[in-house]
A = this chain, B = another copy of it.
């Protein structure tokens, strides 16, 4: 048995999310199906993160155990050949130790959220960004991130379906920067609650539009109540960017 680490880029639009679902297509199933077609085995994938329907990945990390002998290059080529024309691509493949785990060995996850701040609808980036027509004060948004960075009870920013044992998470980084009409929000933590990034982005957008003050954001966090959430941002703009592991 050899354990392979896969780096995966995907467009989340056609999928119910990363995780295999009974009622629709998933990225996990797409890769497992082609891996098992190649090997004749019944391998399962384990990923660093489980993205929701419509959420994308630049570099999701997953692992799979395979009995049949493959070089990483040949496995990657075979997977990509069969994945076509689905918008899922294996961008890197390496052999890892048998006790290395894409999810449990992961010590940091990085997300990017892309907002296009303009009146006109999106043509080229439809499904790949959140268009907000009203002018966003990205400096006010950046100032407000400091309320969320650090160790907090993020119950307000947690989906009702979240399976984490505790709502307490440490947010290592939350940065807002403007590039022309784009507003880019980077978030890093050891792990996130379900919907945490989208919920934080939704509330930051309310600050950017002047609908919420920084104090309103602080009150929402301190309420520790999902009902205090201002807005959950749509999946379109969210990208899983990287998973970090001990050197």
- Is A90 a contact partner of B56 (Cβ separation < 8 A)? no
**Which of A119-127, A140-148, A151-159, A221-229 contacts the other chain?**
A119-127
- Is B76 a contact partner of A91 (Cβ separation < 8 A)? no
Q: Does A88 contact B (CB under 8 A)?
A: yes
- Number of A residues whose C-beta is below 8 Å from B? 25
Q: Mark A65-98, 1 if CB is under 8 A from B, else 0.
A: 0000000000010001001110111111000000
Which B-chain residue is minimally distant from A8 (CB atoms)? Answer: B123
Q: Does A184 contact B (CB under 8 A)?
A: no
- Is A9 a contact partner of B123 (Cβ separation < 8 A)? yes
- Is A120 a contact partner of B88 (Cβ separation < 8 A)? no
Bound Cα distance A120, B126 (Å)? 23
In the complex, chain B residues whose CB is within 8 Å of the CB of A120: 9, 76, 80, 89-92
Q: Which residues of A contact B (CB under 8 A)?
A: 9-11, 56, 58, 76, 80, 83-85, 87-92, 118-124, 126, 128
Which B-chain residue is minimally distant from A87 (CB atoms)? Answer: B123
Which B-chain residue is minimally distant from A121 (CB atoms)? Answer: B89
In the complex, chain B residues whose CB is within 8 Å of the CB of A121: 80, 83-84, 89
In the assembled complex, the CB of A26 is this many whole angstroms from the nearest CB of chain B, namely: 15
In the complex, chain B residues whose CB is within 8 Å of the CB of A56: 124
- Is A123 a contact partner of B84 (Cβ separation < 8 A)? no
Which B-chain residue is minimally distant from A86 (CB atoms)? Answer: B123
Q: From the candidates B58, B80, B92, B126, name the one contacting A87 in the complex (CB within 8 A).
A: B126
In the assembled complex, the CB of A67 is this many whole angstroms from the nearest CB of chain B, namely: 24
Which B-chain residue is minimally distant from A79 (CB atoms)? Answer: B120
- Is A124 a contact partner of B80 (Cβ separation < 8 A)? no
In the assembled complex, the CB of A174 is this many whole angstroms from the nearest CB of chain B, namely: 23
- Is A87 a contact partner of B124 (Cβ separation < 8 A)? yes
In the complex, chain B residues whose CB is within 8 Å of the CB of A11: 123-124, 126
Bound Cα distance A40, B25 (Å)? 44
Which B-chain residue is minimally distant from A80 (CB atoms)? Answer: B121
In the complex, chain B residues whose CB is within 8 Å of the CB of A87: 123-124, 126
